[in-house]
Chain A
């Protein structure tokens, strides 16, 4: 109901803007205005291109440095290391010890660590974020929404180092007293910290996706005698499913790429584990912790860049898929 009262106003504003624009275009446009117009056009085109060039350059640099890892370290060395034992038997190790006298570069513990923080964080954030998005879009009164949406988005602007510190000092102590986990700093603590960053992303995008669903659907549902809950669960969420799933994918991508929180709160032990209360080490934290002191040009240095390539590829494809879904959704809703 409230939506209906807002929409005509918007149309009126748009219309009046168009009428004004048309009337000014009707007059003869002087040469200087046209030149100015062109200059502005080129200026923005230049800005756009520069941004694109920078991204391409970053990718080339990352790839150039990272791919050199494969010269000395084989692809298989990034998975396992066969250690010869005293009795000549071979023990297969999945360990990350780049500076050992027997350098081991298995990325398995790091990949597991990343998933052990990113997946729980995304699960928590999906529940809370989608819930918050549905509430904002379907249930909250306009006044409440005007107040709550910026508040949720404000969450996203908290520096991650602050969140990390908060989890390290307050969060870890609280859950240490509550559950007495094996490690005080563990995957769960890091996942909780991560969800502070991801909830706003999912909530805000879910709200956008649901709000873009044509009001006719809601009206038709209510017209058939459905309750608000039935409308939300049977009509709105299925209709906005692609948008919601895109938001979850983007949130997951952010969880994988986030560095500061996991560096501070996950404890950084390279455990291969399914235990949420054990300390884990993520790919991002490894780069952040070790890049500072690594000697340039060493295998370790290139291996860190190789991890960078993997991270870049994962987040790139997650974002790409999300973007494709969002574009499809936009086309569908416009009809």
Chain B
């Protein structure tokens, strides 16, 4: 009997401690304004940086950033489970339609730019390719480096999973549409890697390889070579990065063919707490962080 009494006391104590603890936590949450952000994996580090800097300035704000991909972020925004969706592409018509069905009106904010670099093994003799050549390479129409002026070795393609923003962007901007108006697809033989880092590793180890990913990520890497891109045969070859530094001008004025805007989406007109965070992102301080994270800041107006 004595023993069971003891156990009872211990349980009661534990329970009351638990209740006390949980009530403490609740208090904290009430005081903070919470903004949840979800979306593009390309933007997750950048978004995290913004969140940290913003929270340092506004001690009672809590910004929670998660990745998962542009599609995931937009889906979450439409399900109203997040306040802000990061997207490395514009909303698709399908997604606008879905939003309309749900009675939502997503608002778009351009927050930064991203350039996609095409990378090859450092031993590759090729320095520049036209967009058309890149298209032929990635659709599998060209299968040997010799066909685009390189050594007589096969081309090995590396790409991203079909739901990533980088995949979609590269497909739209480089592969384009065929004569019948259908978007071209990557060759079957494209190896799919999880994330830009894994892709960089793979190309760095494969002298026949070619892949693509954010300029900011690859600019400083020396184990892969960044290809210069020509819009067409007559255009000059533009390097998205040189000497480990990103070529901002070329991306801003659109000289570099494979660049894109990065977006934040909100549901309707943002309320005060979200608007304040958006203002911070678009401020000079926010855009300096973009540069610091090796993305491309918006051109100053």
Bound Cα distance A97, B186 (Å): 9
Shortest Cβ distance from residue B147 to the other chain A in the assembled complex, whole angstroms: 17
Contact for A295 among B75, B162, B189, B193, CB less than 8 A = B75
Does chain B have a CB within 8 A of A308? no
Q: Which residues of B contact A192 (CB under 8 A)?
A: none
Does chain B have a CB within 8 A of A95? yes
Does chain A have a CB within 8 A of B64? no
Q: Contacts A294-B71, A295-B74 given: A99-B188 contact, CB under 8 Å?
A: no
Shortest Cβ distance from residue B7 to the other chain A in the assembled complex, whole angstroms: 17
- Is B191 a contact partner of A86 (Cβ separation < 8 A)? no
For window 247-273 of A, CB contacts with B under 8 Å fall at: 263-264, 267-272
State which of B177-185, B233-241, B259-267 sits at the interface with chain A: B177-185
Q: Contacts A97-B162, A99-B163, A263-B194 given: A269-B188 contact, CB under 8 Å?
A: yes
Q: Which residues of B contact A267 (CB under 8 A)?
A: 191-192
Does chain A have a CB within 8 A of B164? yes
- Is B68 a contact partner of A292 (Cβ separation < 8 A)? yes
Does chain B have a CB within 8 A of A290? yes
Does chain A have a CB within 8 A of B232? no
Q: Which residues of B contact A184 (CB under 8 A)?
A: 156, 202, 205-206
Shortest Cβ distance from residue B189 to the other chain A in the assembled complex, whole angstroms: 5
Q: Which residues of A contact B168 (CB under 8 A)?
A: 99
Q: Which residues of A contact B196 (CB under 8 A)?
A: none
- Is A281 a contact partner of B71 (Cβ separation < 8 A)? no
Bitwise interface map of A from 181 to 213 toward B, beta carbon under 8 Å scored 1, else 0: 011110000000000000000000000000000
- Is B182 a contact partner of A102 (Cβ separation < 8 A)? yes
- Is B192 a contact partner of A269 (Cβ separation < 8 A)? yes
- Is A289 a contact partner of B161 (Cβ separation < 8 A)? yes
Does chain A have a CB within 8 A of B72? yes
Does chain B have a CB within 8 A of A240? no
Contact for A296 among B75, B180, B202, CB less than 8 A = B75
Shortest Cβ distance from residue A167 to the other chain B in the assembled complex, whole angstroms: 13
Bound Cα distance A97, B156 (Å): 19
Bound Cα distance A294, B163 (Å): 6
Q: Contacts A99-B163, A270-B188, A293-B163 given: A173-B205 contact, CB under 8 Å?
A: yes
Bound Cα distance A300, B189 (Å): 21
Bitwise interface map of B from 66 to 86 toward A, beta carbon under 8 Å scored 1, else 0: 001111101100010000000
Q: Which residues of A contact B193 (CB under 8 A)?
A: 268
For window 122-167 of A, CB contacts with B under 8 Å fall at: none
Contact for A290 among B161, B191, B202, CB less than 8 A = B161
B92 nearest in chain A by CB position = A295
- Is B69 a contact partner of A292 (Cβ separation < 8 A)? yes
Q: Which residues of B contact A172 (CB under 8 A)?
A: 205
Q: Contacts A173-B205, A292-B69 given: A183-B191 contact, CB under 8 Å?
A: yes
For window 6-37 of A, CB contacts with B under 8 Å fall at: none
Shortest Cβ distance from residue B12 to the other chain A in the assembled complex, whole angstroms: 24
- Is B191 a contact partner of A100 (Cβ separation < 8 A)? no
Does chain A have a CB within 8 A of B48? no
- Is B71 a contact partner of A295 (Cβ separation < 8 A)? yes
- Is B185 a contact partner of A100 (Cβ separation < 8 A)? yes
Does chain A have a CB within 8 A of B154? yes
Shortest Cβ distance from residue B241 to the other chain A in the assembled complex, whole angstroms: 25
Among B68, B70, B79, B194, the one with the most A-chain Cβ atoms within 10 Å of its Cβ is B194
Q: Which residues of A contact B157 (CB under 8 A)?
A: 269
For window 160-177 of B, CB contacts with A under 8 Å fall at: 161-164, 168
Shortest Cβ distance from residue B185 to the other chain A in the assembled complex, whole angstroms: 5
Does chain A have a CB within 8 A of B124? no
Q: Contacts A86-B179, A100-B183, A101-B183 given: A289-B189 contact, CB under 8 Å?
A: no
Pairs across A and B, CB under 8 Å, 27 listed = A84-B180, A95-B185, A99-B162, A100-B182, A176-B205, A182-B154, A182-B156, A183-B191, A184-B156, A184-B202, A184-B206, A264-B194, A267-B191, A267-B192, A268-B193, A269-B157, A269-B191, A269-B192, A272-B188, A289-B192, A292-B163, A293-B68, A293-B163, A294-B71, A294-B163, A295-B71, A300-B163
Complex A-B, nearest 9 residue pairs according to Cβ-Cβ distance, in ascending order: A293-B69, A293-B163, A268-B192, A267-B191, A101-B183, A289-B161, A269-B191, A99-B162, A293-B71
Chain B residues with CB under 8 Å of chain A are: 68-72, 74-75, 79, 95, 154, 156-157, 161-164, 168, 179-180, 182-183, 185, 188-194, 202, 205-206
